[in-house]
Amino acid sequence: MQKKIIIAVDGYSSCGKSTLARDVAQRLGFSYIDSGAMYRAAAYFFLKNKIKASGFINKPENEQTDILAHMEIEFQNINAPGKHDIFLNGVNVEKEIRSPEVSDIVSAVSAIPALRKKMVVMQRKFAEEKNIVMDGRDIGTTVFPNADLKIFMIADLDVRAKRRYDELASKGIEITFEEVKQNIRARDYTDTTREISPLVKADDAIVLDNTSLTREEQLDFVLKIIAEKFGIGNQ
Ligand code: DC
Average pLDDT over residues 174-195: 95
Distance in angstroms (rounded) separating the CA atoms of residues 69 and 75: 17
User: How would DSSP label each residue in the chain?
Assistant: -PPPPEEEEEESTTSSHHHHHHHHHHHHT-EEEEHHHHHHHHHHHHHHTT--HHHHHTS-HHHHHHHHHT--EEEESTTSTT--EEEETTEE-TTGGGSHHHHHHHHHHHT-HHHHHHHHHHHHHHTTTS-EEEEESSIIIII-TT-SEEEEEE--HHHHHHHHHHHHHHTT----HHHHHHHHHHHHHHHHH-SSS-----TTPEEEE-TT--HHHHHHHHHHHHHHHHS----
CA–centroid distance, residue 2 to ligand 1 (Å): 30
Answer yes or no: are the C-beta atoms of 71 and 88 closer than 8 Å: yes
Protein residue with its CA nearest to atom 2 in ligand 1? 36
Domains of the chain, residue spans: 6-224
- pLDDT averaged over every residue in the chain: 94
Rounded (10°) angle between helices 17-28 and 215-230: 50
Ligand 1 centre to CA of 35 (Å) is: 7
Point out the ligand 1 atom lying closest to the alpha carbon of residue 111: 15
Gap from CA of 235 to ligand 1 centroid (Å): 31
Taking phi over 0 as left and psi of -120 to 50 as alpha, with beta for the rest, 90 belongs to: left
Q: 129 pLDDT exceeds 90? A: no
- The residue whose CA has the least distance to atom 6 of ligand 1 is 36
Task: Choose which residue among 137, 141, 185, 193 to substitute to test ligand 1 binding: the one with the highest number of ligand atoms within 8 A of its C-beta.
Answer: 137
pLDDT above 80 (res 78): no
Q: What is the mean pLDDT of residues 112-123?
A: 96
177-184: average pLDDT: 96
Its CATH architecture, for the domain 6-224, is 3-Layer(aba) Sandwich (3.40)
How far is it, in rounded angstroms, from Cα 91 to Cα 110? 21
